[in-house]
Amino acid sequence: MNQPHGSVECTPQGRWRIRMRVGRNPKKTIDTFDTREEAIAYRATMAELLKNQEPYPGVTLAEFGEEVLTWRELSCHLSNPDNDWSRWKNHIKSDPIAKMPVKTVRDIHVEDWLDRLNAKGLSRQTRLHCLNLLRIIMRRAKKKRLAKENPCMDIKLEVQKRTHEPWTFLTPEEQDALIAAAPKPLDAIIEFAIGTGLRSGELAALRLADVHLDGPDPYITVRYGGPPAKPTKWGRIRQVPLFGRGMAGLRRWLDALPSYATENPHGIAFPAQRGGFRNHDHVLRWRIWKGSPARAKPGHRNYHSPTVGIVERAGIGRHFRWHDLRHTCASSLISGWWGRHWTIKEVCDLLGHRSITTTERYAHLADTALKQAARETVLAPTIAFPTELPSDGNSMASASVPKPKVAGSRPVSRSLRNQLLASHL
């Protein structure tokens, strides 16, 4: 017979068993007794204990988050899962919000968590990455019916007001200086990166089989977003045409490749000297790109003399990253430094941006219709005024001053003429 707190059932052997539900688990046999009265009495005792017990809270955010990140990594949803794991361990799992059951997380808890991240001094971009990661975890929880809603959906970070752009680019003169400052044949990699605008991971994972130089329209196929074979940032394969600096840099590199890397078992387009993949964070070693200070004292066995990086040798005094070569490519195309002015839509397709909104950061460099209209507008003729004013004591309004006229326009009104005359005085 069924009861509110479990059931007492007779077994085929003639004994009596108690079946109860503990927490969210299905019913299971608690114990078996010889008589029905003993089973009912024990069932009542267990029901009282379960009634006073704290209800099962459900899986916590820390437990479920680990599961989601593992699933995303194994299913190849990410081109670089290390970034998400780092954000998870440093900014979510270590926070009190991770101890909360998934079903109890509300938007107020997420906002408090973001305030704690802001108090730690994290940049807006880092906080945005963390929020997007938590949003993915909670969306997965809602899909698996562990939460009724996603508390992160309507939360947005404040817009950061800037007086300068956080990124930079090289002028044509600086591009030539940077390429000339790099050691050969590594200068060809820099020229290729400027000419194609590939992301560092895409460049490091590019295969020789995806380089197509034959035919009237040479191009490369970007199918990997990072070594060894991680998907691209948005999971899409795209073709990037080769022209100008990109073509010149690639041809010079391919000519030097057989002597630079004698072994290339993976068929990489830009292998390291021993044939392995380059680091997607530092395509060129840091001591080559930025230089390195002296290590140990002269005469010590571990002594290394200080080196000057190619950025400093090129005379670039501002902070300049490898990723800024990608900005240089887009800026050069939109500005028309390499010939034809490219439209924002064309640059968006070349760089593989998901939305044209991302590409609009370069819009101030474009030769817009507004700039064209300003250049084509001629300055209106200046209005001539008399050098001597009447001295008969009459007011300016009654003075016999010829009405100034502008060719092709109506006569100037009296009030406007008085204002102009007053300013002339």
Write out the chain's pLDDT in tens, 425 residues: 444 567 888 988 889 888 887 665 677 888 888 888 888 888 888 777 766 655 556 799 999 999 999 998 888 766 678 889 999 999 999 999 999 999 999 999 999 999 999 999 999 999 999 999 999 999 999 999 899 999 999 999 988 777 777 789 999 999 999 999 999 999 999 999 999 999 999 999 999 999 999 989 999 999 999 999 888 988 899 999 999 999 999 999 999 999 999 999 999 999 999 999 999 888 999 889 999 888 888 888 888 888 899 999 999 999 999 999 999 999 999 999 999 999 999 999 999 999 999 999 888 777 655 676 777 776 555 555 555 555 554 544 444 445 554 444 455 556 655 665 565 55
CA-CA-CA-CA dihedral for 386, 392, 398, 403, to nearest 10: -10
Residue 181 identity (one-letter amino acid): A
Mapping DSSP to helix (H, G, I), strand (E, B) and coil, where does residue 407 land?
coil
How much is the pTM?
A: 0.65
Token duo for residue 42: 């024990």
The full DSSP string for 302-333 is T-B--EE-HHHHTT--S---TTHHHHHHHHHH
- Of 42, 6, 8, 11, which Cα lies nearest the Cα of 27? 6
User: What pLDDT score was predicted for residue 2?
Assistant: 43
User: What pLDDT score was predicted for residue 398?
Assistant: 47
User: What pLDDT score was predicted for residue 135?
Assistant: 96
User: What pLDDT score was predicted for residue 399?
Assistant: 46
User: What pLDDT score was predicted for residue 406?
Assistant: 47
Q: Is the peptide bond before 81 cis (omega within 30 degrees of 0)?
A: no
CA distance 162 to 330: 21
- Angle 81-288-252 (CA atoms, 0-180°, nearest 5)? 90
CA distance 212 to 200: 20
User: What pLDDT score was predicted for residue 418?
Assistant: 64
User: What pLDDT score was predicted for residue 211?
Assistant: 97
What is the dihedral sign for C-alpha 394, 396, 397, 400? positive
CA distances for 199 relative to 226, 321, 341, angstroms: 9, 12, 22
Token duo for residue 330: 């887009």
Q: At 71, give phi and psi (nearest 5°).
A: -65, -40
Provide CB contacts within 8 A for 359, sequence distance 6+.
330, 344, 345, 347, 348, 351, 353
CA distance 80 to 97: 25
Provide CB contacts within 8 A for 202, sequence distance 6+.
222, 224, 225, 226, 232
Mapping DSSP to helix (H, G, I), strand (E, B) and coil, where does residue 222 land?
strand
Provide CB contacts within 8 A for 395, sequence distance 6+.
none
- Cβ atoms within 10 Å of 365's Cβ, excluding its own: 18
Sheet holding 6-10, edge to edge: 2-3, 6-10, 16-20, 28-33
User: What pLDDT score was predicted for residue 162?
Assistant: 73
